[in-house]
């Protein structure tokens, strides 16, 4: 079996695994967000009307609110949302370590801001809320350090390891002949020498005829490299292999064979059950029944109103060839026989108020399914005055509802994203032998961090809400001890005030630059102690100097008292 057969067989197995979700995905797309999802390889750039099933757009707007709320609450570009740390908490209080970590955090935020990460994360959150699974790849980029590519539902297949972590990504998609030649034959470089051995004869013929806009189906496979030679450091022997090949090409020709040091794809799932690969129980799946019912109710309501305002009419046979005007003030002239007046066929009297109430309840259920009521809880409040405690309690309510999803996002999206970005920045800062370059992307770490694995802590609005319980405990014990210190000042000795400041700053997400490291605090206190000691010495020496002056000025019998006492 050649390599192409291996990839084709695994792709067929992954397609079969995904097949049971496609029908559900198409329903979610049709009824909530028609432009999402690609269920055929050629399903691209379609400008046809796709929202024919949507009459009431409450679910579409609720999905938009969910995406925006998750973006603002988890990875807001307007505020820091992550922090680097060391497993040893005491090491974090060492000045050079603390400052280096803060500097790297700043550099990483600059890389994120300069890339397309925030645009793509907003798209990913929408895919996650609608289909239960999102997918994007993080690739190295010469201009922006990293570049993010999003993949919509139906355009990719994923597989997972024995630890139930996604470690495989297959995609089948179309590229133009011009794109294939530019990316693979010329290797992405305009002035490079073309290598036509990687392309099929059909691509070469299309290129020679100038058919650069013809479409070619390509497969991209990323999976663990089970043929890796640990003694080699080239691209084909990295932990994950990456292969592009053309569908329909003969032989074992590959457009590109390379690899990745880290799995470049992030495929977060909203929720999974057991060994399930694709996510389930997402807001879109939960609300789908209500969304369908809402469209039926809206249609029936519109029909009822239409029949009330423009009911079907009955009249005498003499009207068969007479134009009947239904316009305000219109005139219809005909010979009216006995009891043959123009009248409605039947009387329509729908209970519009009850129907509207049921529609509102359905909309509310949809909004709750998409957490729109939670993300908009402050703006939707009809109270102009709201206490800080109420805000805190409402944030805790939001956390209670989204806590499990938030933890899964940390593990399946944000941790791999930051690890991958840090690794790319690290490779851009060192040469092949581990020596730091003069113009490194990140500064060289202090000696204390050599060989130390870093960890990530999240300080977004939602992540901090999880830690808010800890700050309440610190505030309570500080207030309690402060209250009884008036009766017994020595009780303050029971508290480690320095550690309280460190913990409170960590829980509230305060910049590490605002809380001094322990070694700096010790040095400052030692310097302050020296200054106090010097001032005390001066204060003690001043009375002695005044006494000596008085004795020197006193001269009984012509001899000053100081000389008499000292014998000099």
Q: Which of 257, 246, 189, 171 has its CA nearest to residue 214?
A: 246
Q: Both tokens of residue 414?
A: 């944000």
Mean pLDDT of 116-130: 95
Q: What is the mean pLDDT of the chain?
A: 83
Work out the percent of the chain whose per-residue pLDDT is above 90.
40
Say which residue, 108 or 323, is predicted with more confidence. Answer: 108
**pLDDT given for residue 398 in this prediction:** 60
Q: Is the pLDDT of residue 56 over 90?
A: yes
Give the lowest-confidence range in 43-52, 61-70, 366-375. Answer: 43-52
Mean pLDDT of 166-170: 96
Q: Is the pLDDT of residue 479 over 80?
A: no
**pLDDT given for residue 475 in this prediction:** 73
Q: Is 392 helix (H, G, I), strand (E, B) or coil?
A: helix
**Any idea what DSSP says for residue 414?**
I
pLDDT in tens, 441-460: 888 888 888 888 888 888 87
Is 83 in contact with 471 (CB distance < 8 Å)? no
Mean pLDDT of 316-322: 73
C-alpha 119/C-alpha 281 separation (Å) is 25
**pLDDT given for residue 138 in this prediction:** 96
Q: Which of 217, 149, 226, 170 has its CA nearest to residue 17?
A: 170
pLDDT in tens, 59-87: 999 999 999 989 988 898 988 899 898 88
Q: Is the pLDDT of residue 390 over 60?
A: no
* pTM recorded for the entire structure: 0.78
Going across the sheet that includes 215-224, the strands are 156-160, 166-176, 215-224, 240-246, 256-260
Q: Which of 241, 236, 119 has its CA nearest to residue 170?
A: 241
Going across the sheet that includes 145-150, the strands are 145-150, 136-141, 265-266
Mean pLDDT of 453-470: 72
Confidence of residue 392 (pLDDT cuts 50, 70, 90): low
**pLDDT given for residue 470 in this prediction:** 57
Q: Is the pLDDT of residue 244 over 60?
A: yes
Mean pLDDT of 23-51: 84
**pLDDT given for residue 438 in this prediction:** 75
Say which residue, 483 or 424, is predicted with more confidence. Answer: 424
C-alpha angle with apex 253: 251 to 256, nearest 5 degrees?
160
Q: Is the pLDDT of residue 554 over 90?
A: no
Q: Is 114 helix (H, G, I), strand (E, B) or coil?
A: helix
Could you give phi then psi for residue 476, rounded to 5 degrees?
-65, -45
C-alpha angle with apex 270: 264 to 274, nearest 5 degrees?
95
Exposed, middle or buried by CB within 10 Å (0-12, 13-18, 19+), for 392?
middle
**pLDDT given for residue 335 in this prediction:** 67
Q: Is the pLDDT of residue 556 over 60?
A: no
User: Best-predicted range by mean pLDDT among 453-462, 466-475, 483-492?
Assistant: 453-462
Q: Which of 226, 228, 184, 180 has its CA nearest to residue 206?
A: 180
**pLDDT given for residue 79 in this prediction:** 86
562, containing H or E segment: helix 561-566
Confidence of residue 3 (pLDDT cuts 50, 70, 90): confident
Which residues, in sequence order, are CB contacts of 60 under 8 Å at separation 6+? Answer: 32, 33, 54
**pLDDT given for residue 357 in this prediction:** 92
**pLDDT given for residue 531 in this prediction:** 81
**pLDDT given for residue 507 in this prediction:** 65
C-alpha 134/C-alpha 169 separation (Å) is 12
Is 290 in contact with 306 (CB distance < 8 Å)? no
Give the lowest-confidence range in 168-182, 386-400, 403-417, 495-509. Answer: 386-400
**pLDDT given for residue 532 in this prediction:** 78
Q: Is the pLDDT of residue 255 over 90?
A: yes
C-alpha 219/C-alpha 32 separation (Å) is 29
Q: Is the pLDDT of residue 415 over 90?
A: yes
112, containing H or E segment: helix 95-114
Confidence of residue 340 (pLDDT cuts 50, 70, 90): low
**pLDDT given for residue 410 in this prediction:** 92
Q: Is the pLDDT of residue 46 over 80?
A: no
Mean pLDDT of 47-63: 87
C-alpha 162/C-alpha 545 separation (Å) is 84
The answer for 469, left when phi > 0, alpha when psi is -120 to 50, beta otherwise, is alpha
Which residues, in sequence order, are CB contacts of 121 under 8 Å at separation 6+? Answer: 71, 75, 148
Q: Is the pLDDT of residue 463 over 60?
A: yes
User: Best-predicted range by mean pLDDT among 58-72, 182-196, 343-357?
Assistant: 58-72
Query: What would you report as the CA-atom Rg of the chain, rounded to the nearest whole angstrom?
Result: 36
**pLDDT given for residue 534 in this prediction:** 77
Confidence of residue 221 (pLDDT cuts 50, 70, 90): very high
Mean pLDDT of 529-551: 71
C-alpha 221/C-alpha 223 separation (Å) is 7
166, containing H or E segment: strand 166-176
Spell out the domain ranges in the chain.
Answer: 518-566
Mean pLDDT of 527-533: 80
Q: Is the pLDDT of residue 58 over 90?
A: yes
């Amino acid at each position: 079996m050649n390599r192409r057969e291996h990839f084709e067989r695994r792709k067929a197995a992954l397609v079969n695994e995904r097949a049971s979700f496609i029908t559900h995905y198409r329903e979610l797309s049709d009824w909530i967000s028609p432009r999402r999802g690609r269920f055929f390889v050629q399903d691209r750039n379609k400008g046809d009307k796709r929202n024919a099933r949507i009459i009431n757009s409450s679910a579409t707007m609720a999905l938009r609110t969910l995406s925006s709320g998750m973006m603002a609450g988890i990875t807001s570009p307007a505020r820091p949302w992550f922090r680097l740390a060391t497993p040893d908490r005491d090491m974090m209080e060492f000045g050079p370590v603390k400052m280096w970590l803060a500097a790297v955090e700043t550099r990483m935020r600059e890389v994120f801001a300069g890339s397309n990460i925030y645009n793509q994360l907003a798209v990913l959150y929408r895919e996650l809320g609608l289909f239960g699974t999102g997918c994007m790849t993080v690739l190295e980029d010469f201009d922006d350090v990293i570049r993010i590519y999003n993949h919509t539902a139906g355009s990719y297949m994923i597989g997972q390891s024995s630890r139930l972590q996604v470690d495989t990504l297959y995609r089948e998609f179309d590229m133009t002949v011009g794109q294939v030649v530019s990316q693979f034959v010329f290797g992405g470089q305009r002035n490079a020498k073309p290598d036509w051995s990687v392309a099929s004869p059909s691509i070469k013929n299309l290129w020679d005829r100038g058919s650069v806009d013809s479409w070619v189906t390509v497969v991209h496979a990323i999976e663990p490299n089970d043929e890796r030679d640990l003694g080699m450091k080239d691209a084909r022997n990295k932990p994950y292999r990456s292969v592009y090949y053309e569908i329909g090409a003969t032989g074992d020709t590959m457009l590109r064979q390379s690899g990745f040091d880290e799995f470049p794809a992030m495929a977060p799932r909203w929720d999974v059950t057991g060994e399930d690969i694709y996510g389930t129980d997402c807001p879109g799946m939960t609300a789908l029944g209500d969304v369908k019912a809402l469209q039926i109710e809206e249609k029936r309501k519109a029909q009822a109103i239409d029949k009330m305002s423009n009911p079907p009419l009955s009249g005498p046979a003499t009207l068969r060839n007479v134009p009947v005007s239904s316009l305000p003030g219109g005139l219809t002239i005909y010979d009216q026989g006995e009891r043959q007046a123009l009248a409605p066929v039947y009387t329509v009297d729908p209970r519009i108020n009850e129907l509207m109430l049921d529609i509102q309840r359905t909309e509310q259920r949809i909004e709750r399914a998409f957490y729109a009521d939670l993300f908009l809880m402050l703006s939707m409040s009809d109270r102009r005055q709201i206490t800080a405690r109420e805000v805190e309690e409402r944030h805790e309510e939001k956390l209670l509802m989204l806590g499990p999803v938030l933890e899964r996002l940390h593990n399946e999206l944000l941790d791999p994203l930051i690890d991958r970005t840090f690794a790319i920045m690290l490779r851009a800062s060192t040469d092949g032998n581990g020596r730091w370059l003069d113009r490194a992307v990140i500064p060289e770490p202090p000696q204390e961090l050599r060989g130390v694995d870093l960890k990530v802590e999240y300080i977004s609005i939602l992540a901090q809400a999880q830690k808010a319980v800890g700050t309440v405990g610190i505030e309570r014990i500080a207030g309690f001890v402060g209250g009884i210190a008036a009766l017994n000042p020595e009780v303050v000795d029971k508290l480690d005030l320095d550690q309280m400041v460190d913990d409170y700053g960590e829980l509230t997400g305060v910049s590490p630059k605002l809380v001094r490291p322990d070694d700096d605090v010790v040095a400052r206190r030692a310097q302050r102690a020296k200054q106090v000691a010097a001032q005390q010495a001066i204060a003690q020496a001043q009375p002695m100097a005044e006494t000596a002056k008085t004795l020197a000025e006193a001269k009984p019998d012509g001899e000053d008292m100081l000389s008499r006492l000292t014998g000099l």
